[in-house]
Amino acid sequence: MCNCNTESCEKDSCCDSDSCCGSENFIDHVKMESTMAIKQAHREALVERMRKRLEEKHGTTLDKVADVCFEAFEKAWKSMNTQSKEKSELNTKLEEIFSQKD
C-alpha cells in the first residue's frame, strides 16, 4: 500500500502508478479504506459473538485452564526470581573472594 500525498509523489515511487495521487485516486483510496473498515467491523462483531458462545459453552473449563496456566507461570516466575537472587549472591561472594589480597 502506498502511503503518499501529492507533495511526496516522485517519478520512481509507488505513487508513480497513480495509486494514491490525484483526486480520482484519492476517492478510490477512500473507498478502499471504507471497505477495509467495514470488513474489520464485521470481523470484530463475529469475534464478539464467537467469544460469547465460547464463554457460554466452555467458560468453566476455560477458567480451570487459565487457573492452571497462571499457577504454572507464577511458579516459573518465582523460580526465575529465586535463581536470579542466588546468582547475584554467588557473584557477590566470588567478587569478595577475588578482591581480597592474599
pLDDT, tens only, 26-62? 999 999 999 999 999 999 999 999 999 999 999 999 9
Domain parsing of the chain, residue ranges: 23-97
List CB contacts of 29: < 8 A, sequence separation 6 or more.
20
On whether the pTM is more than 0.75, the answer is no
Q: pLDDT, tens digit, for every residue of 14-24? A: 555 555 555 67
Three cell numbers, residue 102: 592474599
- The b-or-e profile of 61-87 (16+ CB within 10 A means b, else e) is eeeeeeeeeeeeeeeeeeeeeeeeeee
Residue with cell 470488513: 39
Of 79, 54, 78, nearest to 66 by C-alpha is 54
